[in-house]
Structure 1
């Protein structure tokens, strides 16, 4: 027992981060359904980690509004409420253009290579039919790569949280959205503007993308 107590914190943190990312994406993609109970033991077993990393992950996920805890009832995946769309969009319409412009100014060679690879993946997705889950995963990858290219950790964290919440709404109405591939494909010109170092065009395309997302959801409701 003493050996376990003196194990390096880095390993524990890496397990917590792994648990967090896996659970976050399950919640975002509605693989854990809204309102479903969260069982720590089952999650720990399915992820192959102990309960402590799972508890650390759940603390972060509660802060990010992906799970909620009720006294004497337990912990549950947060419900998806369409009325949240307007609030989420207000934030994203201001911050997504800022992130795109900063990425165009600050992206490193590594960032540009990552974005270029995603651009190529978008082209492949456009040339052959992809299922909705694959397109959503690709959409998340593009957004997260753009946020990382801002090299502003506070902006990155904020936008990942709001993009996660927006994606949950998207998943809820995915069967009613007619041109999902087209929406994801809009990232192509945005990536091109960022890689070319054109902040004004990048900001304009990012704002248009967010506005188009909100319209598509409202049309589907």
Structure 2
């Protein structure tokens, strides 16, 4: 008989597997179209096959992997033609989430936002693109959490993940993205100050600038 502790451990391993694989797929460490070897990944992450399957089910809902009967599971392709549709929805939802986060002045995530702001302030254009993108992901995820609406957070994380995959796909053709990442300093300042309208407006502009930057190399 399965104990409560065993169930909890299985759930935590599934969550850990999900987060690690999600970020590998987002950053294209697992390339688009690559087959997903459940056994190899389970061994790599030190987890069992059941937590791995649970993680892959969630990743399929996120449109990061796709399963085919009798063929297996694969990393989804990156469709750059989806950028406009993704940006259209993100423009509205990012502005809303940022407004809510600013109304709470960061809420329980205030200290983490302050630390992240300081870290970004210390970055320069010599930092590699991967690290800059990781900071971009961190800021957006903090804002979504600070919005204190799990429905909004789930939708935005999924959209931001897809947008980041497109970004990584063209990364070697992009100009310096340091300026784009450093915009987060001002955005965080507005959130911490509780300036909800200015923060929401800047969040929308940030999304439009992202789309413009990517389109410039397509």
TM-score with structure 1 length normalisation? 0.95
Contact 2:99/2:200 (CA < 8 Å) preserved in 1?
yes
Q: Name 2:157's counterpart in structure 1.
A: 160
Give the alignment partner of residue 145 of structure 2, picking from 129, 144, 148: 148
Match of 2:186 among 189, 196, 216: 189
- Report the aligned-residue RMSD: 1.1
Judge conservation of contact 1:61–1:67 (CA < 8 Å) in 2: yes
Unaligned runs of 5+ in 1: none
TM-superposed deviation, 1:7: 5.1
Alignment of 1:36-185 (within 5 A): 36-126=34-124, 129-185=126-182
Give me the whole-angstrom Cα distance separating, in 2, the residues matched to 1:47 and 1:7: 23
Q: Which moved more, 1:158-167 or 1:6-15?
A: 6-15
**Local SS of the residue matching 1:164:** helix
Moved more, 130-139 or 24-33: 130-139
Question: What secondary structure is seen at the aligned counterpart in 2 of 1:178?
Answer: coil
Tell me the secondary structure at the aligned position of residue 31 of structure 2: coil
- CA separation in 1, counterparts of 2:106 and 2:90? 24
Question: What's the TM-score once normalised by structure 2's chain length?
Answer: 0.96
Where do 5+ consecutive residues of structure 2 fail to align? none
For 1:107 and 1:46, the matched residues in 2 are separated by 40
Aligned residues: 217
- Conservation of the 8 A alpha-carbon contact between 1:30 and 1:171: yes
Between the aligned partners of 2:92 and 2:63, the Cα distance in structure 1 is 20
Distance 1:106 1:157 in 2: 19
In structure 2, distance between residues paired with 1:179 and 1:200: 29
